[in-house]
Structures are given as C-alpha cells and as structure tokens.
Structure 1
Amino acid sequence: MEPSRQHFLVRFGTFEFSLQSGEVRRAGVRIRVQQQPLKLLEVLLEHPGELVTREELRSRVWPTESFGDADQAVNIAIAKLRSALGDSAENPRYIETLPRRGYRFIADVSFVDGDGRRRTPELASTDASAESEIGYQHNGNGVAVLPISEPSPQLQSAELSVPPRTRRPPTSRVLIALAAALSLTMLAVLFFLSRYHKPAVIRSLAVLPLENLSGDAAQNYFSDGMTDELITDLAQISALRVISRTSTMGYKGSHKSLPQIARELNVDAVVEGSVVRAGDHIRITAQLIDASTDKHIWSQSYESELRDTLALQDRVARAIAEQIQISLTPREKVELTSATVVNPQAYESYLKGRYFWSKRTAEGLEAALHYFNQAIAEDPNDARAYSGLADTYALLGDWQYAVMTPKEAYPKAKAAAFKAVNLDNTLGEAHNSLAFVLDGFDWNFDSSGKQFQQAIELNPGYATAHHWFAWHLALLGQYDQAIAEMNKARSLDPLSLIINSDLAELLVLSHSYDKAIEQSHKTIDLDPNFAMAHNQLGQAYLQKHMSDQAIEELQKAVELSGGSPTCIANLARAYSLSGKRNEAIKLLNDLKGSSTARYSYASEIAAIYVSLGNVDEAMNWLEKGYLERFNPGVLIRPAFDPIRSEPRFQHLVQRVGLPG
C-alpha cells in the first residue's frame, strides 16, 4: 500500500519538512517556525516553481481575516519564514517575491517515503481522499527525498525508485524524453530572448508604491515616502514623463496586472520594488519592467543609513535613467549626484508630514502641520520641511478645508515658502509653494508667474506646478494656454480627481460647454462620489440652460460635499434661473445664517444675488470678500458674467489686478 501524502518528508536545500508532524529541520536540528509561517510554507511547497498569489495565501492561511489584516499578515509571515530559513528577499534561495502578484518557491523540491525512496509527483499524492492534495512537481534535478524519521546519511544518496506499476512502455518513455528535451530547448531559447530582450523606447513610466517589508504597518509612511522621493527624483528628468503619486498610490494593494496598470496610466514602463527598514538602516529593492511585455529589464538592491537616503534615491534614479538610455541635461546630472546628508530625525518627521498632507483632509493637514514644524525644530535648515509647511498652510486657508481664514493662513504660508526658497533655491516645490501664495493672497501675478515658471523648469514632472500654473493663466484670461497646462498636469497625474475636475471647470470658463460636460463625465467615471465633478457638470449644464439636469447634478454635489458653500451657491443659482426663486432664497438665507466673523462666504452669497437680479447686494458682498482677501479666481466664475459690464465690478477687477 502506497503511503499517503502526510507520510512524506519534503526536502529543499539543507532543510527537511515533515508533512505529518509539521516540523522543519536543518541538518537534523529542529528549526522553530511559528504556525502561520509554517502553514504558508506548506502552501508554497504544494506548487514549487509556480506563482502562488497573495490572494491564495490569504484564503488558505487567513480565511476569516479582513482583507487589510490578512494582507499585512502575509507580509509578516513571509518575513518570519525567510528569517527562519536564512533567506533574503533581495537574493532569494527559497522564496522569490513577484511584486504585486505573490511568491514562488524556487529551490529544488522533492520528497521521500518511509522506505527512503524518492517519489514522483503522482506517488507523493496518493491519498486521494485528502482534502487538499499536494501536486508537487519533480524537476529532475537530483534532489534527495527523505523519509519520516530522523535523517539518515544513507538517504542522502537514495536513488529514484518508481514501482513497476507506474513504468511506461519504452516507446512512451522515449517520446516523453524527446518531448522533455524539446521543452527544455524551447525554455532555453525563451530565457535567452527574455534575458536579452530589448524593450521599446521608454519615455514614460510609473513608480508603483514600494512595498513595506518591515513587518510593521506603522512604517507605511516610510515606504510611501520613499516612493514619493523616487518619483520626485525621476520627475526632474525633462525627457521622461513620470506619473505623479496621486495616480500611482491608487494601485497600492491592487492585484491588477502590470500591463493593465501601464495601459491605464499610459506609460511605457513600470518601476516596482520594496523597502525594508531596521532602525536607521534601509534597503531599497527596485526593478524596471517593460510594460508591453511584462518582462524585467533591470533590478537592483541598495542599502544605506537613513542619513544618506537622498543619495540612495538618486542612485536608483540614475540607474533607471541609464537602463532606459535617456539623455540627461547637465543640470539634471548635477541634481542626481548632489544629494546632501539629512538629519535622520528631521527627515522622518518630514516624511510623516508629507504622508498626512497627502491625505488632503482637515485632520490630515493638522497632523502634517505638527510634523513639518517638528522637522524644522529638529533641523532649522531643512528647506523641504519649510516647503511642506507652506503647502499645508496654503491648503488650511483654502475654501475646501477652511480650517483657517486666508488672513491667518496665507501670510504663514508665504513666510514658510520664502524661507524654503532662501534655504534651497533649486527646490522646485518651494518655488511652486511661493507662487501659489503670491497668486491667491498677494495678487502679485507678475511675480507668481515667474515663480511658477521657475518651479516647472526645476521640476518639469511636478504635476501640482502645472496644475496651479494653469489657474494662474486662467486668471489672466489665457484660457487656451491654461487648458494646455492643465492637460500637462493630467498627463502626469491621470487619475487625479481634482485635476480632471478642474480641467472641466476651465472648459466651462472658456465657454466650451460640451467639452466640459464630456470631461466631467470622465471624472465621474473615475469616482462617482467626487462632489466637484458633479459641481462642474452642473455648471456646464447651467450655462447651456439645461436647468433640470443642472439642478440634479448640483443637488448631488451638495450632498456628496457635505454642504460645500460653493456647491450650495451654484444650486441656488440653478433654482433661481429655472424660476424656483423661493428655493434659491432659502439657500441664500441658509448661507447668510451660517456666515461667521471667520467665514462669511461672501463670494458665494454674491453669486446668488446676481442670479436673483440684485446687483447692489451682489457688489456689497463682493466688497466684503475683497476685504477678507478672497481668492481672485472667484471673479472669473461664470456666475458673475451678467455683471461684468457694471462699473463697480470692473473697478473691483482692476483693484485686484486682473485684466478687464
């Protein structure tokens, strides 16, 4: 009677794994492995040489856990299993990581029955009643298979013995041997072709979120920060289009194939990898993949102390540039070789600040404010921390978050931006931060334009710079150029909801209403619950006198935004222009009632008065907004088109400094 699967020992390298007792031994000595990593090892050994997806591991080992918890458990269990086996993710002998897909057991694997005989795959799985039958593959590489007992030297040289009942006629064996030889030849050819495969010209790429392999979910901010740093470095290369973090972070934890991701982001290549941090020591593994063929072009691991992390990121970026054979300008070469040593504590605080800032919530911005200030306290000469602080204050004073009034927030944002520029005049993000404040608060459009251009020159791949510069051009009435600049921002950050939505708004401002409707629908396809996409669609319908459709979309915008004053004002305008005056007046009174000394919603209230035909009240509220230092962009909104010829309105536009 043939032994069941459970009565075999599996051997790989110098290890033995008993399927019956669940023990792992190395050279006869038992190795302590925790239960979950042990179960994970068993699943991997069921399919040696094959991809085992993360989903399969989750369902087999953690079937009752939630997705996020089980996903993290896989990372931790793999790390523990590698530690027990003395394996390495960077130079694996046993477990190979296939990023974003799963793992593969790459060592030679075979097993032995109780008589010390090597077994073929089918004989190793003779227990047909087993609930999960192991389908081991024998790879013919002469691996020894051991019985369930204490290891024996004699078993090291045990020969493969196939019982007579499994022997095939000689002709069959010859045919199988020929087929095997042919298969090996084809595999060799395919390997050669893949090894020396020359990818198409690469002019665009996406850096997918680097995987946190530290076994600590609290370190996610660090792996995300490393992803941002690599994107920032690569984005400085003017000949290369690099997708921004907003779009790539959406693929964190995604199980989409790399070719599919590349198609969605419209890129030629993808960079993926991992980060391991132990104290102040970090290791980054990165690989470059040809998106069209899903073939590896290059991979490398880098190690350094945290203080040298900027130089480490530059090394990775330079290596990628060399692999895709892209030309660097003299300035770009200098930028990628002139990284400074950082204060580890300050740098860690900076990464935490950017992590929370990127959440774009009021709570996240307040946390970011804390960490950027902490970074500055730890290193008063950290220009990047001042730039982050400027961006945080700018958003805290923006109407979307309204945590601070513009008068409170923007002077602090301006001071921080100036400090960043003075500390490092080559930091494109700092110039962009300064330009934003000069535009929106100082109304110094000449200076802000120069700062935007300098920001883009220093960092041509920075989507936010193109995004905010587009609005600067719109303020000056240069709508064609503004739309072109917004399209550049979208090409760098194709999944950014706010960029896609703002493109639709620019199309409304340029009177391209049909295009605005089309663009708004594209944004809604990305996220049906994004309020501003419905707001822009409602405005476009309103300009086309499609009142019913406008009201429907603007009602959605108000609901999804949680009562945004801008969305409420547009809905009130739609009611008024469709003859529902009472509904409009009710919303007007609601806004006036919710006004405070800090936030009067002056420009929104003025817009509703325009729709009601009360020009005097509209101008009174606009004057109030002027004193509160409203964003000058309110004056180019279509809501004020009916009063553009009014002398008081024209005089207000002149005082702000916008073209008449």
Structure 2
Amino acid sequence: MSSNDNFYKDFQEKSSGKILVDKLTKEIEANLNNEQFGVDSLAQSVGMSRSNLHRKLNKLLNTSTSRFIREYRLKRALEILKQEDITASEVAYRIGFSSATYFNTSFHKFYGYTPGDVKSRISREIEQSTQQFTNKNEKKLSIDSGSSKTTKSKNKKTVLWVTLLLVIIASALFFFNDISKKEESILGVEKTTHEKSIAVLPFKNLTGKPDLEYVSDGMTDAVISRLTKVSAIGKVIPFTSTLSYKKTKKTIKEIATELNVSTLLQGNLQISGNRIKISLQLIDATTSEHIWSEEYARDWKSDEIFGLQTELVEGIASNMNSVIAKDELADIKKTPTKSKLAYSYYLQGEFQRQKGNELSYLNAISLYEKAITVDSNFVDPYIDMANVWNMGGSVWGFYDEQIAWGNAMALLEKALKIEPTNQRVEEELNTGSFFYDWNFELVEKFYQNILGNSIHDKPSVISLDYPIKTGRPEETLKAIEYYIINDPSNVFYPFFKAEAMFYLGSTDEANEILTQTDPLYKDNWFYLRESTKLYFYLEEYEKSKIQLKKILNQFSDYPPILMWLNAVYAQMDGNSNEVIQYLGELQNEYDKGSSGSPAWFIALYYAHIKDYERTFEWLQKSYDRHEVEMTWLREEPLLAPVRNDPQYKELYEKVGFSSIGLPIKSTSDF
C-alpha cells in the first residue's frame, strides 16, 4: 500500500469516526434527560452491537461507551450551571442522572470541583477580570501624571463603581449558592430515590412448615434475580440486603427510606398438596398505599414454577409501568433446569449457604451435589458450590486452602463447559486466582475490564478488596459510590468505605463510619470480624475489644484472626499466660495445616511487639504455605517498618506484586 493509500485510509477512518461521534452526540442530546438511555440504547440507536460500539470508541477516543455518555452529560451540566440559576439537583435530572449524589461525585471527579462551586468560580473569574481592569487603570493613572485633576477624578469614580459592582455580584452569588445548597439538602432524599425502584421483601412462609422456609426464600431470590434483568426498572435491591428485613417490625416508609426505593413488594407463599400459591402486594413507599395485588397458583413442577416466576415479574413490571424488552423477556423465561427435584435441592443449598457457618456450608455442598446428580447440566449449583469452597478456604478458614481452590476450579471448569460466557464463573475464577494463586497479571486484566465497563450491576470482591490491597483505595471508594445507589444496605459498603478511608489517611472519617454502622450489623459475622481488625489499626482498642467480644459470644467459629487479636490484647494488658495460650492456639492450627492463615497472624503478632526476626521467620512460613492473607503483604500496617528490609523485598517479588508494576510502598507512607 502506497503512502497516498495510507493517507486516504487514515482520512477515511478519521472522517467516518467524526461522523460516528457526531451521530452519537446527537443521540445522547436527544435523550439527555432520559435516565434509562444507556449503552444498550445508544448502540441500538446507531445500529451497532454493544461490543462493536465499545471497540470503535476505544479506538477513536480511547474511552468506553459508558464513559463517553457520562462525560458528555457532565459537559452539558457545566454549560447549564453556567447559564442558568438552578440547583445541582435539578441539573442532575435534566442530564439523565437518577441520583443527585452520584452526579455530584461524578462531576467532582471529572472537573476537580463540585457543581456548587461553579458559580463561585465564575465570581472569581469576574473578580480577576475586574482586578486586571482596575490595575490597568491605576497604572494608567500613575503614568499619566500630567493629566488634569478632573480626568483623575473620573477614573477613580470608574474604579469605585466597578468595585461596588463586584461586591454586589459576589453577594448575589453567595446568596444564590446558599439557597441552592439548602434546596439540595431538602430535595436530596426525595430526588435521589429512583422513580422506578423496588425492594422485594422476603416472602412469608405460610405453609405451616418451617422446613419449607427455603422455598419462600428461594422464590423471593428468583423473582429479584429476574427483575434485575428489566432495564426499565432502574433499581432492584438484592436479596442479600432485603433478607435482613425478614422479621422486621419497621414500617413501610422506614424500610423504603433505608433502602432508598420508591416501591416495596410484599408476598407470602402457601403450599397445599402439589399446589403452590403466591400472593403479592405492590406498595407505594411514599404514601404506603397499595398499587396492586394479585394471587398466582401453579403446580409444584419445574416448568410451571419457572413460568410462575416469569409471570410474577411481568405483573410487577406492568404495574410499575416498566416495559420488558423482547430480549429481556427471553432471558427472564430461561429455564435453568427441567427437574423439580434438582431445583428443590438447589434452593435448599442456597438456604444453607446464606447462613455462612461451617455446618451450613457442609449441608450446602451436599445439597448442591444432589442437585447436580439429578441434573448434571444445571449450572447454578456448580457456581454456588465453588463459592462455598472459595469462601470456606479463604475467609472462613474451614477447609485446606489449596484443596478448597482445587475443588472450586474443577466445579467452575464444568460450569464453563455448560455456559462458556457465564459472568459469575469468570468472577469466581478471578477471585480464587487472586487469593490462592496470587495471579496478579490475570486478575489485573479482569479488574481493568470491570473499570472499563462500569455498568456491572453487582460488585465483586475484586472491585472492592483488590484495589485496596494493591494501593488504590480511591478506586474502592469510587466503586462503592457507584454500587451503593442500587444497594444501600449492603454490609460490605460501609466497611470497605471505612477501610479505604483508613488507607487514604482519613482516620477520623473511617472511625466515624464504623461508629455509625456498628448498631446496624451487630450480629453480622463478617462486619464484626473486619471492624474488630480495623478498630485495632485505628488505635480504637476499646471499640475493637467490644466487637471481638460480640463475635466470641455469638458465634462458635474461631478462626486464626481471632486468636491473633486475643493474643495482641492479652499482650497489651500484660497477661503473659494468655499470650502463651493464644499463640499456642495459632501454632496448633499451623501444625495441623489449617487454613485461615495461622502463620501470617503469628508473623503479625511478632510485628506488633517489634520482634522482626520472628516476623520474617513466620512470613516465610506463610509464603511457603501459600496462605491467602499474604495478599495483604503490600498494605499491611504492621509491616510498614520493615518494607526496606531485603527479606521483605524478596517476599514482595515472589508473591507477585511487581508483576503489575507495583513498587514497594515507602515506610513513610503509613
């Protein structure tokens, strides 16, 4: 190909690229205030597939489609704020943001200042221009010393008038900003609630048989999962968050306010013989008035049960004035298994998995295996059993780490053969690859894909935990700000936000977040464990001890992290006998080959008392065992003093942080 041909090809590509960008811009402008207009809508409007449009924009502008839409809206927001006297909340809804909070956050990240600062910045620009004018006139006055007294008087009057005008403008802008902020604070609660948002409360089990609770919970979860596929419904609260309201005495308005939704769905389930009946009530959260109610009855057969779930979703969507697209309906109608028995085993397995303890995990594995035996092509049991192995071998410390990961991988490989594009499989594989294999290169690619496609509707461990451990806590905050809009009661968000703030150096704010959150999750094992550790790093030792006591009083599970905390506080209290006892417990777990990273926590104990020779002895043992807590090596506060030590640097390289270009943190960074 000649140079002329290359030039012509480049010209054509640039020309067609400009035409495409112009067309996309016009489509976004035409749908500017339509909060439902997103990546799929834009791709459809220009006759392209979602993936093809993403590749085109990435090549032309080095950006994703979602970012292109968001940044165009933010640029229009700035224009509106400069031209009109309206609040930031009003601008948010005019440019298609369903949440004023998310708009403020996105605007600040893009421009470096908040929407409320726009007017004050204009004021400063006027002031600077006026000052330049004043200085110019004053300079002219000083140079033109031979001018008449009358001319000097006129110039001085001009300066005075300009200065007075500046004061008036500044006062007006200050008043305007003050009023705007007050309006935003008043309107914020109502306007940040998505117009079409719903929380499905756990269906009540009216069968008279407590052992059928798994059916009512399973049906609730299934309905929620299908509702998330309806793009016209902007926000659907996940089952894990509504589950906490199972036995609540809170009012409709209280629940709706906490979950930040406009609609609530209540239901109950009854079974008579082989017949299942579900009664639903759709309630307006603002007025507590019933919008719609209906009863559905079917035979307890797999095909009819899934048909019933689809019918429920169609009824809910219809009464929320939300149209289900054809492709969405096809997805909703998918039948995961044709076996009633396999589905029943699976629902029982899910019911056990949600309890999150060693016995329930054991029960869940057995039930998932039964579901797979009945229907080997039923993909969900493979994925959720893999999740049990992953969690049980890492977070909980129930199973040998490498055995757990081997079992999880085998299950996920089988799931991939059934559904090669299943996103949940990809997430579980990358989560395990990070914790067990320390495969930073693989996980970094997955993480960057998450960042480039911010439309993921659910968070993953990789989107919250991984950036903190790799020195990017600000990205964890960004993810939380995005996901919390759809799931405000998720237990992970307040904790990870507090943890991110701690690693950003905002210790007071981290402490405040935990203090406000403690009453909400006083019986949640995960939150209690993680807040106990974070309070320790915040040097809020009494608060940490309170959380530790709650765990020990409420739960029988006793992993190495609790032994370590017990040992640390025994040492701080001067109780040497208890120190020996708790270190002995950790040593015993290590000798048995237990998971839960006992060697790591022994190393941290010695780091706490500044015995760094033993610290490295046990860090090496932790590395040799491939313990999952070694993923904290870069950020662990207790290891800050030894980051310059050659032994630390060697471990850092071997674990794999350098493989993605992460330098060792400076000792002064903590």
TM-score (norm 1): 0.62
**What SS does the aligned partner of 1:287 have?**
strand
**What SS does the aligned partner of 2:436 have?**
helix
Please give the per-residue CA displacement for 1:426-476, whole angstroms capped at 9, x wherever unaligned.
5443333223212211222343455578899799443xx435521122233
Q: Say whether 1:302 aligns with 2:296.
A: yes
For residues 275 and 443 of structure 2, what CA distance do their matches in structure 1 show?
A: 41
- The gaps in structure 2 that reach 5 residues or longer are 1-192, 664-670
For residues 266 and 373 of structure 2, what CA distance do their matches in structure 1 show?
A: 34
Match of 1:424 among 412, 419, 424: 419
- Matched with 1:657 is 656
Q: Say whether 1:617 aligns with 2:604.
A: no
Q: Say whether 1:311 aligns with 2:307.
A: yes
Q: Say whether 1:408 aligns with 2:389.
A: no
For residues 565 and 483 of structure 2, what CA distance do their matches in structure 1 show?
A: 26
Contact 1:276 1:284 in 2 (8 A): yes
For residues 348 and 538 of structure 1, what CA distance do their matches in structure 2 show?
A: 38
For residues 424 and 463 of structure 2, what CA distance do their matches in structure 1 show?
A: 13
Task: Summarize the Cα distance change of 1:513–1:257 in structure 2 as closer, same or farther, 3 Å threshold.
Answer: same
Task: Give the 5 Å matches for 1:306-455.
Answer: 306-308=301-303, 309-326=305-322, 332-339=328-335, 342-400=338-396, 402-425=397-420, 427-448=422-443
How far did 1:391 drift?
Answer: 1.1
**What SS does the aligned partner of 2:610 have?**
coil
- Matched with 1:603 is 600
How far did 1:338 drift?
Answer: 3.6
Q: Amino acid of the residue matched to residue 244 of structure 1?
A: P
For residues 582 and 336 of structure 2, what CA distance do their matches in structure 1 show?
A: 55
Task: Summarize the Cα distance change of 1:319–1:637 in structure 2 as closer, same or farther, 3 Å threshold.
Answer: farther
How far did 1:360 drift?
Answer: 0.6
How far did 1:340 drift?
Answer: 5.1
Q: Cα RMSD between the aligned structures?
A: 3.3
Greater C-alpha radius of gyration: 1
For residues 430 and 275 of structure 2, what CA distance do their matches in structure 1 show?
A: 37
How far did 1:234 drift?
Answer: 1.8
More helix by share: 2
Which has the higher mean CA deviation after the structures are superposed, 348-357 or 295-304? 295-304
How far did 1:230 drift?
Answer: 1.0
Q: Say whether 1:231 aligns with 2:224.
A: yes
Q: Amino acid of the residue matched to residue 632 of structure 2?
A: V
More strand by share: 1
Q: Amino acid of the residue matched to residue 638 of structure 2?
A: A
For residues 575 and 366 of structure 2, what CA distance do their matches in structure 1 show?
A: 47
**What SS does the aligned partner of 2:429 have?**
helix
Which has the higher mean CA deviation after the structures are superposed, 238-247 or 214-223? 238-247
Which has the higher mean CA deviation after the structures are superposed, 574-583 or 223-232? 574-583
Contact 1:607 1:618 in 2 (8 A): yes
User: How many residues get paired?
Assistant: 458
Contact 1:349 1:375 in 2 (8 A): yes
Task: Summarize the Cα distance change of 1:314–1:434 in structure 2 as closer, same or farther, 3 Å threshold.
Answer: farther
Please give the per-residue CA displacement for 1:479-531, whole angstroms capped at 9, x wherever unaligned.
11113324555555544445543443333333332222122223321143556
Contact 1:397 1:403 in 2 (8 A): yes
- The gaps in structure 1 that reach 5 residues or longer are 1-199
Contact 2:337 2:377 in 1 (8 A): no
- Matched with 2:666 is none
Contact 2:522 2:550 in 1 (8 A): no
Identity %: 26
**What SS does the aligned partner of 1:267 have?**
coil
For residues 292 and 385 of structure 1, what CA distance do their matches in structure 2 show?
A: 39
Q: Amino acid of the residue matched to residue 630 of structure 1?
A: E
TM-score (norm 2): 0.61
For residues 267 and 541 of structure 2, what CA distance do their matches in structure 1 show?
A: 51
Task: Summarize the Cα distance change of 1:342–1:427 in structure 2 as closer, same or farther, 3 Å threshold.
Answer: farther
How far did 1:276 drift?
Answer: 3.0
Task: Summarize the Cα distance change of 1:393–1:431 in structure 2 as closer, same or farther, 3 Å threshold.
Answer: same
- Matched with 2:479 is 485
For residues 382 and 224 of structure 1, what CA distance do their matches in structure 2 show?
A: 19
Q: Amino acid of the residue matched to residue 514 of structure 1?
A: D
Task: Summarize the Cα distance change of 1:301–1:270 in structure 2 as closer, same or farther, 3 Å threshold.
Answer: same
Task: Summarize the Cα distance change of 1:281–1:645 in structure 2 as closer, same or farther, 3 Å threshold.
Answer: farther
- Matched with 1:285 is 279
Task: Summarize the Cα distance change of 1:616–1:331 in structure 2 as closer, same or farther, 3 Å threshold.
Answer: farther
Please give the per-residue CA displacement for 1:255-313, whole angstroms capped at 9, x wherever unaligned.
43222221222211111212233455433333321111112223333344422223332
**What SS does the aligned partner of 1:598 have?**
coil
Please give the per-residue CA displacement for 1:316-356, whole angstroms capped at 9, x wherever unaligned.
22333333334667753442244455211111110010010
**What SS does the aligned partner of 2:591 have?**
coil
For residues 471 and 489 of structure 1, what CA distance do their matches in structure 2 show?
A: 14
How far did 1:625 drift?
Answer: 1.6
- Matched with 1:207 is 200
For residues 222 and 546 of structure 1, what CA distance do their matches in structure 2 show?
A: 43
